Structure 1
Amino acid sequence: MDILTKDEFHVNFEDIKMQIEEGCVFIHPTDTIYGIGCDATHKDAIRKIRDIKDRHESPFSVIAPGKEWILENCHINNGAKEWINKLPGPYTLIFKLRNKGCIAANVNFDLDSLGVRIPEHWFSGAVSKLGKPIVTTSANKSGEDFMTSLDNLNPEVENNTDFILYEEEKHGRPSTIVDLTKEEPKIIRR
């Protein structure tokens, strides 16, 4: 398992892109906290994250490769437009899916909705360059504190990831979750 800096990630992007497409699982930074991720179209990689986190029932969110991806794959009502305009930012927006085939069914258990992020962070640009959504969920075992630095990363999580994209200690908190599946937006978590 490698620990990569931002510069190392960019220099080795083509190789890393191939690893992600082949199903690797990795820890990545965002504008809020560290996440554990994989290609959101790769069902085996998603299953591996579920096993690592011991989270077999709750849906995952994704980092979208751009706003265009959201517009193509999600139903956008009037209430959603204002929130999309706030992206990138520290939000997870829950949309009704228009195209269920844009992600593997085990991301959201084939539900008709999906949590979507575009963090205000350079990693969003890497996801855009990758051209496909990335699963994102806190880098921890379910029910445990989330990772803020390498010092408090659960060894079981660390040992089951292929690489860690590490910057520095994060002092953020998880993203605000906004349900946009109905006409009136509803904040679920601040």
Structure 2
Amino acid sequence: MKIEILNSLEVLNSKKLLLYPTDTVWGIGCDATSKTAVKKVYQLKQRDDSKALVCLVKDLNMLSKYVKYIPDPALEYLKQTDRPTTIIYPKAQNLAKNLIAEDGSIAIRICQTEFCQLLLHDFNKPIVSTSANISGQPTPKVFAEIQDEILKGVDYVVNLQNQNNSETKPSRIIKFDEQGQVQIIRD
């Protein structure tokens, strides 16, 4: 795993694209603070850049550096769930401008897998995590379903769990507003 972390760090630090296993589906990733890197993700996915992307953080401390406000109900939810959940927070900060939604919000998930935790710790910045598919195409449930266009379009494919045929699914997505009201976007 150490070699995969080092190779991934080199890619992220070079503003290039990474294909990597997450706590949900395989993700296309890059430095979430780099406008140049984020633009490459939109181009590869053939996705309109008005649609915000998800990013991963290591823990609450890292999360607090990239959102101005964490509603108390979001903190309570995070303490109580084991399910991978992406939360849309109001008032993003210190991230690439093209990663942030038009309303100023950002979708962030605290990823608990060993690989992602180590990578996020060593990189010390959020990493984009968007499903490994062309926009509008089905989300691959296993590595073998990832389209050649995606495999050829990234700069590095992490060599972990590539043979795992256990089907995965995207995270739950919920949104909190500044008053702490919750809305379920995807269950």
TM-score range (shorter-chain normalised) is 0.7 to 0.9
Q: CA deviation at 1:122?
A: 1.4
Aligned residue type for 1:81: L
Q: For the structure 1 residues 139 and 12, does the alpha-carbon distance in structure 2 shift closer, same or farther, using more than 3 Å as the test?
A: closer
SS in 2 for 1:39: coil
Report the alpha carbon displacement of residue 109 of structure 1 after superposing the two structures with TM: 4.6
Which shifted more, 72-81 or 40-49?
Answer: 72-81
Check conservation: 2:141, 2:169, Cα contact below 8 A.
no
SS in 1 for 2:30: strand
- Match of residue 169 from structure 2: 173
- The gaps in structure 2 that reach 5 residues or longer are none
| Residues 76 and 40 (structure 1), Cα distance of their counterparts in 2 relative to 1, 3 Å cut | same
What residue in structure 1 maps to residue 84 of structure 2?
90
Asked if structure 2 preserves the Cα contact closer than 8 Å seen for 1:32 and 1:170, the reply is: no
Q: Match for 2:185 among 170, 183, 188?
A: 188
Contact 1:90/1:119 (CA < 8 Å) preserved in 2? yes
| Paired residues for 1:115-130 under 5 Å | 115-125=107-117, 126-130=119-123
CA deviation map 1:80-129 (0-9, x unaligned): 1212324664100111125x2x2100112564111001123113312122
Query: 1:26 touches 1:161 (CA, 8 Å); kept in 2?
Result: yes
Q: Distance in 2 between matches of 1:186 and 1:21?
A: 35
- TM-score, normalised by the number of residues in structure 1: 0.85
Deviates more, 1:15-24 or 1:155-164: 15-24
Give me the identity figure in percent: 26
Alignment match, 1:146: 139
| 1:33-79 superposed Cα distances (whole Å, 9 cap, x missing partner) | 11111010111111111011111220001001321022233212222
Q: Size of the alignment, in residue pairs?
A: 180
Runs of 4+ in 1 over 6 A off after TM superposition: none
TM-score w.r.t. structure 2 length? 0.87
Amino acid at match of 1:116: I
Ranges in structure 1 where 5+ consecutive residues have no aligned partner:
1-6
Q: What per-residue deviation string (whole Å, max 9, x for no partner) do you get for residues 112-167 of structure 1?
A: 11100112311331212210000011000011111233422111111110111230
Q: Quote the Cα distance in structure 1 between the aligned partners of 2:166 and 2:32.
A: 24
Q: Secondary structure at the match of 2:58?
A: coil
Q: Secondary structure at the match of 1:186?
A: strand
- Report the residue type matching 2:53 in the other structure: F
